């Protein structure tokens, strides 16, 4: 404003001076004309001519004096121009500083996603994936061992089928309780801390199972281990929080390869130990060593920078991001890390039912339950199909496939003490290998298709495969291929739901969302041995129809999910999920939103 007022005053003064000068000039011109006319009309009157000329000269002098008074001198002009120029330079400097300050306000902060997306999938992410993958490796050991531990125990202790079913169910029930508990720990105390606590419980109690002297003792120990296994899923949460948006789908499937590899190695190890030593105690002790390995390696596992950010520890978040940038050989953005506008509560289960999360939560919970239920139901159907080549068989043949003589007292029957044959180990390897093709295909599809489209389409495909098992055919290979495809598809879809859960919820609730979903999945797995095992033998067709309906409803649930999360940056707070939020609007337009 100061600059503009000075200019206006100077211009007004100049204009006023010009007008006065012009007025005087015109006046002088008129007087000259009058004198000329007088001179012409009275050329001989010298006495009158002299006073007139004298008056004209005096008037011109006075006019000149007035003009000089109204116009600035050259020295004054130079001084005034110098002052104006000084003001202009000063104002220009102020404007430049203001512009620079505005630029710093806009570009002087960065988001975690700016660093993660710029770094890409590099050495840092590979390290995190490996360390979390070793945890999944150990998880596979402790879960898959349930498939045949009962057959080994019955040779030392006489076990009934209900006890074998209980041995499996107690682990799933423990996971059902432990998963949300470790989810809360991960949101409140950190993802890494939840993994440390989880494996600190797994190793001693796993090794303790090798020393158990009766069934009740091993049942209690396995139940505690199930509780601890509920925390392993937080490895996925930690990994996905460091994966760049464009690679999160593919990288998320890398963890599932560790699970599948762990399954294969466990079967081979069990084969070697039981044929060489014929001692289930050495088998259980050796499986517990995988948890000890995780504890020895976990010191190199970084904590989530996103957790540090929302827990008001920005300095630690920056250090983690600097380590990420160093290992991936990229430069950190200039400026400061953008901090959350508020300190939002973390890890509260009931916050998942807030309006902005309610629909996603309820649909995700059903998806977790239905996919786990269907996966384990397929595992129960497999023995009938492998043994007879088809599903529609007489009840006697179905009983033979499960090695039972009386379905009326199925769970009360004693498990016969029989060693696993090489053929049985090969069958286990074959069915476990079925997971790899599905994972390979989905690793490609998750990059191409939207999450909702892939999940809903895969559930529909599994529904179709499931009902094709009802076709009565004498071609055993057809039924075996259908079973192979169904299981491969389900295991890949189950991994996809892990990835989608991390993307569908904010950092403050991401771990508890993962934990609660995993809890319902374990509930689905826990009821299968009791609810479906007898039904499979007596009414296999009915079982397949129930499984088909459950998967079909899962396809509908996937289609109804409110948000597509593919290639989206992870969000930190629940307020970012509010309807018509800046983040949602920006992403709908295809803009980058941190």
The yes-or-no verdict on residue 154 having pLDDT over 80 is yes
Rg (CA), the chain: 41
- Mean pLDDT for the stretch of residues 272-285: 93
Span 164-189, pLDDT tens digits: 888 888 999 999 999 999 999 999 99
The yes-or-no verdict on residue 220 having pLDDT over 50 is yes
pTM confidence score:
0.75
Q: How far apart are CA 500 and CA 514, in angstroms?
A: 10
Nearest partner of 169 among 226, 105, 100, judged by Cα: 226
Max mean pLDDT among 29-38, 45-54, 446-455, 528-537 falls in 446-455
pLDDT of residue 161: 81
Q: How far apart are CA 246 and CA 447, in angstroms?
A: 8
> Contact 479/390 with Cβ under 8 angstroms?
yes
Nearest partner of 177 among 124, 117, 225, 120, judged by Cα: 225
% of the chain residues with pLDDT over 70 = 72
- Mean pLDDT for the stretch of residues 501-528: 89
Span 425-441, pLDDT tens digits: 887 888 788 788 889 99
pLDDT of residue 533: 61
The three-point CA angle 306-311-316 to 5° equals 65
The three-point CA angle 199-203-204 to 5° equals 125
pLDDT of residue 535: 73
All domains of the chain in start order, with CATH: 108-340 (1.20.1250.20), 351-398+410-564 (1.20.1250.20)
């Amino acid at each position: 404003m100061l600059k503009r007022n000075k200019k206006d005053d100077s211009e007004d003064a100049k204009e006023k001076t010009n007008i006065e000068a012009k007025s005087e000039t015109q006046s002088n011109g008129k007087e000259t004309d009058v004198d000329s006319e007088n001179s012409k009309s009275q050329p001989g009157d010298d006495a009158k001519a002299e006073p007139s000329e004298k008056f004209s000269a005096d008037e011109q002098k006075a006019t000149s004096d007035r003009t000089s008074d109204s116009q600035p001198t050259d020295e004054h002009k130079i001084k005034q121009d110098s002052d104006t120029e000084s003001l202009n330079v000063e104002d220009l400097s102020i404007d430049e500083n203001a512009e620079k300050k505005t630029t710093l306000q806009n570009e002087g902060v960065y988001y975690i996603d700016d660093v993660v997306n710029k770094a890409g999938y590099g050495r840092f992410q590979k390290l995190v994936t490996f360390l979390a993958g070793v945890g999944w490796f150990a998880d596979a050991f402790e879960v898959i061992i349930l498939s045949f531990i009962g057959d080994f125990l019955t040779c030392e202790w006489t076990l009934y089928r209900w006890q074998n079913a209980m041995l499996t169910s107690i682990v799933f029930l423990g996971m059902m309780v432990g998963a949300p508990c470790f989810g809360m720990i991960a949101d409140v105390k950190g993802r890494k801390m939840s993994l440390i606590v989880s494996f600190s419980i797994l190793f001693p109690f796993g090794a303790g199972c090798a020393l158990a002297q009766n069934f009740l003792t091993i049942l209690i120990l396995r139940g505690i281990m199930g509780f601890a296994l509920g925390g392993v899923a937080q490895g996925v949460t930690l990994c996905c929080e460091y994966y760049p948006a464009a690679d999160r789908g593919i990288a998320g499937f890398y963890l599932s390869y560790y699970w599948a590899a762990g399954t294969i190695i466990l079967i081979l190890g069990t084969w070697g130990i039981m044929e060489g030593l014929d001692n289930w105690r050495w088998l259980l002790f050796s499986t517990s060593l995988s948890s000890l390995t995780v504890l020895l390696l976990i010191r190199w596992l970084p904590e989530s920078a996103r957790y540090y950010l929302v827990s008001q520890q920005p300095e630690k978040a920056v250090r983690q991001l600097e380590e990420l940038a160093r290992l991936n050989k990229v430069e950190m953005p200039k400026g400061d890390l953008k901090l959350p506008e508020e300190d939002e509560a973390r890890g509260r289960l009931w916050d998942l039912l807030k309006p902005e999360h309610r629909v996603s939560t309820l649909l995700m919970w059903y998806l977790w339950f239905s996919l786990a239920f269907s996966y384990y139901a397929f595992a129960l159907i497999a023995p009938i199909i492998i043994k007879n080549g088809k599903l529609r068989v007489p009840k006697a043949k179905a009983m033979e496939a499960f090695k039972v003589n009386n379905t009326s007292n199925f769970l009360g029957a004693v498990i016969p003490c029989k060693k696993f044959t090489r053929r049985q180990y090969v069958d286990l390897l074959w069915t476990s290998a079925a997971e790899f093709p599905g994972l390979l295909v989905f690793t490609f599809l998750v990059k191409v298709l939207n999450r909702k489209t892939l999940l809903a389409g895969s559930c529909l495909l599994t529904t179709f495969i499931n009902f094709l098992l009802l076709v009565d055919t004498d071609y055993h290979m057809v039924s075996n291929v259908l079973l192979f495809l169904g299981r491969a598809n389900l295991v890949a879809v189950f991994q996809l739901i892990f990835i989608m859960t991390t993307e569908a919820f904010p950092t403050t609730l991401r771990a508890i969302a993962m934990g609660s979903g995993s809890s319902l999945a374990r509930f689905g797995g826990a009821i299968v041995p009791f609810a479906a095992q007898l039904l499979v033998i007596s009414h296999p067709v009915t079982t397949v129809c129930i499984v088909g309906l459950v998967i079909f409803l899962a396809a509908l649930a996937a289609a109804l999910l409110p948000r597509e999360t593919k290639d989206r940056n992870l969000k930190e707070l629940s307020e970012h999920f509010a309807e018509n939020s800046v983040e949602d609007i920006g992403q709908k337009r295809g803009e980058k939103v941190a």
